[in-house]
Amino acid sequence: MTVVGARIDNRLLHGIVATSWAPRSNATRVMVIDDDVAMNSAEKQAMRLGRPAGMATSIITKEVALNNFKKHKYDKQRVFIVSKTPDIFLELLNIDVEISKLVLGGTLTDDTAIKVTNRAYISQVQIPIYQSILAKGCTIVSQYVPNDKEVNVRKFIDRGEK
């Protein structure tokens, strides 16, 4: 299995992911990992309508994703993963799923969040998670669409550390 793309995006599977990110990655499967959407049949069905042409789509909980990766279910596939938060990516790295680069796309913000770009923010409570991801050797960049210049997120994480 090869993780060919990993993206944090609060909208999960939407137009930019379906038409730009996933196709550019040459993925055979787009995987949305989100407990709330996976447990809501209406949201899940609506999200499936936007899947990239020719790609399998999984919309699953974190627990199912971790179990499937542990069982090597995706070993012969090229997987593009999207989730709303960084914790799932750290958990995947902790079970030895190789993720070389994590792209921070559009995220939600709060009053204490660190602004990385006009669309990407890092919550203070997420800084330790991002630090652990970096410590695993995964590069973290912010990039809304593939043609945007990559912004290295490490400096924002280091600067925001308390």
Distance CA 83, CA 5 (A): 11
Bridge-based pairing of strands 78-83 and 121-122 is unpaired
Instruction: Tell which phi-psi region holds residue 66, choosing left (phi > 0), alpha (psi between -120 and 50) or beta.
Output: alpha
pLDDT reading at 161 higher than 80: no
Could you give phi then psi for residue 134, rounded to 5 degrees?
-60, -40
Over residues 10-19, the mean pLDDT reads: 86
pTM of the model: 0.93
pLDDT in tens, 24-81: 898 999 999 999 999 999 999 988 888 888 899 999 999 999 999 999 999 999 999 9
The pLDDT score that the predictor gives to residue 1 is 57
List the structure tokens of 96: 């030895």
How far does CA 84 lie from the centroid of its chain?
Answer: 7
The pLDDT score that the predictor gives to residue 96 is 95
Could you tell me the sign of the dihedral formed by the alpha carbons of 11, 17, 131, 60, in that order? Answer: positive
How far does CA 80 lie from the centroid of its chain?
Answer: 8
pLDDT in tens, 113-130: 999 999 999 999 999 999
The continuous run of DSSP H or E covering 103 comes out as strand 101-104
Q: Burial of 28 by CB count in 10 Å (0-12 exposed, 13-18 middle, 19+ buried)?
A: middle
Domains of the chain and any CATH numbers: 2-160 (3.40.35.10)
- Cβ–Cβ under 8 Å, residues 31 and 109: no
pLDDT reading at 162 higher than 60: no
